[in-house]
Chains A and B, each alone.
Chain A
Amino acid sequence: MPVAVKDNICTLEYVTSCGSRILEGYRSPYEATAVNKLKAAGALIAGKTNCDEFGMGSSTEHSAFGRTLHPFDKTRVPGGSSGGSAALVAAGAVPAALGSETGGSVRQPASLCGVVGIKPTYGRVSRYGLVAFGSSLDQIGVLGRSVHDAARVLSVISGRDPKDATCEDRDSLRLPNVPESLQGFVIGIPKEYFPPDLDPAVRRACDRAIRLLRELGAAVRDVALPHTQYAVPTYYIIAPAEASSNLARYDGVRYGPRFDGSEDVRALYRTTRGEGFGAEVRRRVLVGTYVLSSGYYDAYYRKAQQMRALIAQDFRNVFDRGVDLLFTPTTPTPAFKAGEKIDDPVAMYLSDIFTVTANLAGLPAISVPIGRVKGLPIGGQLVGQAFLDDEMLEAAYALERAVPAGEEA
């Protein structure tokens, strides 16, 4: 089975450039554990896919090597940052591709391209060889034509890895059977994910999916995740903070291109990092450096960590009250136009509004196509409990089978 691999996952075969000039032509001397496991299971590494630089973006426009086009409408974006992987799967070039998530970078493009995208529980898949962006949030995920294709790949790459201290000491994921019904499942609908200004067509698609879940035998219940409104700001403190440190190593000293500025080492850093990183990466490195600085750490970083704990607690509270899974829209809109949000970072950040919470809480989540909005695909999201990825996949199988994904909602 050919599997494409996002450009921020180390492979021996191809360049690993993370969509960045600063790693242009970089060949990794080792391969990621996930890639290694795929090859051991007989998969073929089909190639590397374009992405937003270091995974920072939601449109795959922030790649030093050009933007990726939406497979059904060239004027639109495929989402991001794993937009190359999503577009390739949607175009039918490969049955599945590896992507990576920090705040929704697998599920968001999956929703926009009409494919399945899984982000496993944090610690389910080794991060060894995944070029770090926000280490406490990063997780390799899978994009696939179907739940089954994606789940098969996930099952292969999951499981313990002595090279990653944050990877749980667990066997690889068991592939669930396609269930006859969802009898016994309790699915929560968090009201914060259905704001009054939600695109009516997206809401219609979700309502239809919820009705189908109910018809499959699931008990559907309204729930509340009261700290949801703080998720995006929390995310945009923690992820850049970690990124500012993770990206410090790209200094032109040991590998990657070295940009001119050799009068002293400070000038070398300044020029290499100034020229090598794109605008969005520079923005996040600056924000991240700021929020970790002495005098600001307590006001931003520490507060964000406290909020992150509250967001995770919201989910635990709901799950403790008998809810098995949550259902939400994956994205607030279908694929947007190229260039539409490129100059408005906050608008771009808000396209991750429904996905960042699963990363902050470390929970498994999946996007499944649930219909079309003016001809463009839209995904629905299931969020599961930590390390119950298999239970989430079971429900996704059933939803995928029931929903008329090609039909206008």
Chain B
Amino acid sequence: MANRWETVIGLETHVQLRTVSKMFCGCSAAFGAPPNTNVCPVCLGLPGALPVPNELALKLAVRAALGLGCTVHPRSLFARKNYFYPDLPKGYQISQFEQPLATAGSLSYLSPDQGIATATIVRLHVEEDAGKSLHDRFPKQTAIDLNRCGVPLIEIVTGPDFRSPHEARAYLLTLKQVLEYAAISECDMEKGSLRVDANVSVRRAGETALGTKTEVKNINSFAFVEKALTVERDRQIAVLEAGGTVAQQTMLYDSKTNSVRPQRSKEESHDYRYFPDPDLPPLMLSEEFVAEQQTQLPELPAKKRERFVEKYGLSVTDAAVLTAERAVADYYETVVHAGSGADAKLAANWVMTEVLADAKDHGERLRVQPGALAGLISLVRGGTLSHQAAKRVFSEMAEHGGEPRNVAEALGLTQVADTGVVAGWVSEVLGAHPTEVERYRKGETKLLQFFVGQVMKVSRGKADPKLAQRVLEERARSLGDLK
């Protein structure tokens, strides 16, 4: 049924800027303080208090706009968005409406449906957050925490560019990557530092006019983005297939039941009565200021990915994995450039497997120093450690630190490259497997690998496997048989 319908999604993402203090006052913007402790006359909206913009927040907002390829306007306006709600102490939110900070950007991302795709960024503006209403704290009462009130946000609005829920999710993950790279936001949906609302509509395949859209809210985890959008898309299709019409309304997603429900009309504000905030002069940004923010932007993921492919000869997929997080990309490059330089492809394999697996189990910490990993890789290449042994050394270094060679020796894992010793193990193995020796002599040469494996076993992994193979081959050649 879904094939006859096309889904159209646009996203509005609210991102908390990584500042120490709030957007318009000096209060701490930290998450998790006891309720109503990070507050002052300004963010409490006390009579007579006035807002003053936070310069760092403006810098971060401009960096975000530049990172998303937007035009940053030399003059933009703060506006008041008026509505009554108990956790909005001034009765309005300071935001931007006409003349936002930035417009007309784009973000290229890897669409699961169509490969590299481009989302248009319609606008990016600065605003302050509201407080929090807690309805479950006291029975029949609403508690209000105003710590979040006045925390700086940017809102990033895309065009109706996504054709499926997973495409929308792919964009969102790419956006998160960019914002994390540039240290603009922590982008933690669980802590609310990244929030997303979606405009969803469907239309019959081939139609060009947009269907009636609904706004889906309350998607509070990355895991739910796709689910919430799918549920709403399916709901709209079902309504239309049944001959009904989609009502333009706000739908709230409930992750517990994986369903959406219309927001009560009482909860909706129909007219925000936006007007320029007379407490804040037009925001004028000089060319120098904007240029300075450009220099503060790091190499962004897409650029880095291309460079990794070109410079290190990696596949696009591997480069994408390594550049997904800035810390991992930096780690990888440090490994490659450490000491005499590790092999770029070997290093990539190590980082993508051992390092990322270990990080996943340990709070995303990269526990082995990049220099140590580089050393470990060269021990493997030089034949001192088998790959299996190296993995054990890696785990040991992750837990207790240390230099790879010392750790390997302490664990007794250094490979024995002494021909005499290896020859002893070879003799032991041949003596223990007369049947296999007989079969080998009759032409089953592939049994050589079996003997190598047995040598590794009796040496408990310490024999250099290449040396063992050579000794076995020599024994076969010189004696004509293996006896």
Question: A residues near B, CB below 8 A?
Answer: 9-10, 16, 18, 23, 26, 28-30, 32, 127-132, 134-136, 162-166, 241-242, 244-245, 247-249, 251, 253-255, 265-266, 269, 289, 292-294, 297, 301
Contact = CB atoms under 8 A, between A and B. Distances in A.
Given A248-B82, A248-B90, A293-B273, A162 B52 contact: yes
B51 interface: yes
Q: Which 8 A-B pairs have the closest CB atoms?
A: A248-B91, A136-B278, A135-B278, A292-B273, A131-B47, A129-B48, A10-B48, A131-B48
Interface in B263-310: 266, 271, 273-275, 278-281
A342 to B, nearest CB: 26
- A interface: dominant SS: loop
B51 A165 contact: yes
Given A129-B48, A248-B82, A249-B47, 4 more contacts: A28-B48, A30-B46, A131-B47, A166-B278
Given A10-B48, A165-B281, A292-B82, A249 B90 contact: yes
B240 to A, nearest CB: 29
B275 A241 contact: yes
B84 interface: yes
Nearest to A20: B47
Contacts of B92: 245, 248
Nearest to B271: A294
Nearest to B144: A253
Interface residues of B, number: 30
Contacts of A265: 86, 142
A251 B48 contact: no
Given A249-B89, A253-B86, A266-B266, A128 B51 contact: no
A245 B275 contact: yes
A124 to B, nearest CB: 15
A130 B50 CA distance: 9
A163 B50 contact: yes
B44 interface: yes
Contact of B50 (A23, A165, A266): A165
Summarize B's interface: helix, strand, loop or mixed.
Answer: loop
A130 to B, nearest CB: 6
B45 interface: yes
Nearest to A253: B86
A166 B271 contact: no
A249 B80 CA distance: 13
A16 B47 contact: yes
Nearest to B44: A254
Contacts of A293: 271, 273
Q: Name the residue among A9, A26, A128, A130 with the largest chain B CB count within 10 angstroms.
A: A128
Given A30-B41, A248-B84, A253-B144, A166 B47 contact: no
Interface in B30-64: 41, 44-53
A283 B273 CA distance: 18
Contacts of B271: 293-294
A130 B271 CA distance: 28
Nearest to B90: A249
29 contacts: A10-B47, A10-B48, A23-B47, A26-B47, A28-B47, A28-B48, A30-B49, A131-B48, A136-B278, A164-B50, A164-B52, A165-B280, A242-B278, A244-B82, A245-B80, A248-B82, A248-B84, A248-B90, A249-B45, A249-B89, A251-B84, A251-B86, A253-B89, A253-B144, A265-B86, A265-B142, A289-B273, A292-B273, A293-B271
B41 to A, nearest CB: 5
A165 to B, nearest CB: 5
Contacts of B144: 253
A219 B84 CA distance: 55
Most A-side CB within 10 Å, residue of B46, B47, B92, B278: B47
B46 A29 contact: yes
